[in-house]
Amino acid sequence: MIASELLHDMAEYLDSRVAKVVINGDYEITHFEVKTVNDNVLALNYIVPVDEVSLITLVELKDAADNVLSSNAVNVPITSDHLMLQTIEVKEVTA
């Protein structure tokens, strides 16, 4: 079993690595409404403006060197400015 403090530390490390969100491979978001760690969960809140994106098909989290940390194919139509909530839970996987 992994101690909850270590899971929290790993979520904090991930928080320090995430520098931006890239939508559909080209729209970069570097301002987060919320970027915080609670227990072992990193929570990101960011706004996707409708005048820049009308359909989200790919959400990537990248570090400052533009390395992909996480990539998710999605299908989210945007009809007005949209507040996105993205969470990443750090947890132990057991067989």
Task: Give the pLDDT of the chain (95 residues) as one tens digit per residue.
Answer: 899 999 999 999 999 999 999 999 999 999 999 999 999 999 999 999 999 999 999 999 999 999 999 999 999 999 999 999 999 999 998 87
Looking at residue 13, its pLDDT comes to 97
- Domain membership of residue 11 (yes or no) is yes
Q: What is the pLDDT of residue 6?
A: 95
Count of the separate structural domains present in the chain: 1
The CA–CA distances, whole Å, from 22 to 1, 18, 62 equal 34, 11, 7
Please give the pLDDT value at position 95.
Answer: 77
**Does a structural domain hold residue 95?**
no
- Whether 35 maps to a domain, the answer reads yes
Residue 29 is predicted with a pLDDT of: 98
Cβ atoms of 84 and 60 closer than 8 Å: no
pLDDT on residue 94: 85
On whether residue 20 sits in a domain, the answer given is yes
Per the structure, the complete domain to which residue 39 belongs is given by 4-89
Q: Are the C-beta atoms of 18 and 44 separated by less than 8 Å?
A: yes
